[in-house]
Amino acid sequence: MEDETGLEDEVKEHFKRKSIMRAEHKGQSRIYMLMMMNKYGALVSGPPLRVDWKRVFAENQCPQCKDLMSLTEDRYVSPKCKLSIPLGLYDKAVDEYKTEIRLSEEDKRITQKIKEAGLSEDKILTLYNKAEEEAQAEMEMKRRQEEASEQAKTGVDNSGKPPKT
């Protein structure tokens, strides 16, 4: 197998970062679910709602009613529609949004480099598949480390049984 060039390695790492982001970033979807529940009730049925995340995070605009959200002690609340978003979830979603913006800009740069280098579609697909495999392995290792850390704190494994001594 031939050595990857610097560009190929850069492309693969970019694909890996995007894959991890897609798998781990759930803040905006959780806010969306809160918004749907607030608007339509616990059954969460109804037509999809459009959200301008840029305005939500830049101007503290309510994603549901577009009114200005107020920060209370531990949550953002819309006085108009009463949507309430926990501060930790809001902060997580802001960080995820910033990462998405950064990766989108990086996407444009990487795409331009790929065009200039003339990488074949097969090579790009190979790099993408390698990145997906590495991302899955990295996320699995992270999950196992978190489980081990939690088990060390609580003395209980995931099954709920005490560890064997």
Residue 74 is part of which domain span? 6-150
What are the residue ranges of helices labelled H in the chain?
6-24, 27-40, 53-59, 87-117, 121-154
Domain assignment present for residue 85? The answer is: yes
Domain assignment present for residue 46? The answer is: yes
- For 46, the token pair is 């109804």
Domain assignment present for residue 164? The answer is: no
Domain assignment present for residue 158? The answer is: no
Model pLDDT for residues 89-147, shown as the tens digit of each residue: 999 999 999 998 999 999 899 989 888 888 888 988 898 889 999 989 998 998 899 88
Q: How many domains does the chain have?
A: 1
Domain assignment present for residue 36? The answer is: yes
Domain assignment present for residue 16? The answer is: yes
> Is the separation of the CB atoms in 69 and 90 below 8 Å?
no
Domain assignment present for residue 160? The answer is: no
Model pLDDT for residues 55-77, shown as the tens digit of each residue: 999 999 999 999 999 999 999 99
